Chains A and B, each alone.
Chain A
């Protein structure tokens, strides 16, 4: 077991433990903190997968953007001073059984498939290649997703306005 494996298991355990904290926690702020650490752990997994650009994007967009947005949603819709910060659960036992079933099925599919690995050893910077791909092969999807994001954000701002 070399250093790389130890780092992977550390990041994986960190990510899953934070995600479990997010699911288990009754206080919604604790859930948000669990999600924060889980997203950081996923960024670490990206680094281990030689996706340096994506790891930085993950931290910038998810931790810096989406999580702050979610926290704003929490703060604007909960009475902070009262004890109403709790989030209940329903049908917990059947849900756990169903989700465990899904995980077992996925695990069996993953372990029974014989993957054809193409060996790649070195860590190359990915930003340049991703830029080329976005501007050549994926130009149309890139433009569409840009317009889509613009439309979605304008629409969100419109919906959230008071008195519409």
Chain B
């Protein structure tokens, strides 16, 4: 069976699952961020694969560029928050950041 749309979608689903696993199991805030980056990459593979196989134009690739820009902005803001969290708690363990928990 030659490589078609389904192969890319399955690869993207696997990458998404690994990113989700990192997000929900890791205690370290930076590692959770890495998992989010994996999830965004999985979404991007989907966009580009659909642009290649189903669309007649390149709209999907333009959307992938927008996703990359948003990922860069979110990484910068999240890193700033993590640095502030470290200033306050001397730790970036997410289990210890529970001041807002009731």
Known: A72-B79, A106-B13, A110-B10. A22 touches B48 (CB 8 A): no
Asked if B97 is at the interface (CB within 8 A of a chain A CB), the reply is: no
Q: What per-residue 1/0 map shows which CB atoms of A81-111 lie under 8 Å from chain B?
A: 0000001111110011011101100110011
Complex CA–CA separation, A16 to B18 (angstroms): 8
A35 to B30, Cβ gap below 8 A? no
Contacting residue for B27 out of A5, A76, A88, CB 8 A: A88
**What chain A residues lie within 8 Å of B10 (beta carbons)?**
107, 110
Distance of A103 Cα from B73 Cα, bound (Å): 28
Chain B interface, >50% SS class = helix
Report the interface size class on chain B: 35 or more
Contact in complex: B84, A160 (CB < 8 Å) = yes
Secondary structure class of chain A's binding surface, majority of residues: helix
Number of interface residues, chain A, beta carbon within 8 A: 81
B69 near A145: Cβ-Cβ < 8 Å: yes
Contact pattern, B 1-25, Cβ under 8 Å of A = 1, otherwise 0: 0111111111101111111111011
Give A residues with C-beta under 8 Å from B: 1-2, 4-5, 8-9, 12, 15-16, 19-20, 22-23, 28, 31-32, 35, 38-39, 42, 45-46, 49-51, 53-54, 57-58, 61-62, 65-66, 69-70, 72-74, 76-77, 87-92, 95-96, 98-100, 102-103, 106-107, 110-111, 115-118, 120, 126, 129-130, 133-134, 137-138, 141, 145, 148-149, 152-153, 155-157, 159-160, 162
A-B pairs with the 6 shortest C-beta distances?
A152-B73, A87-B28, A160-B80, A106-B13, A159-B80, A156-B76
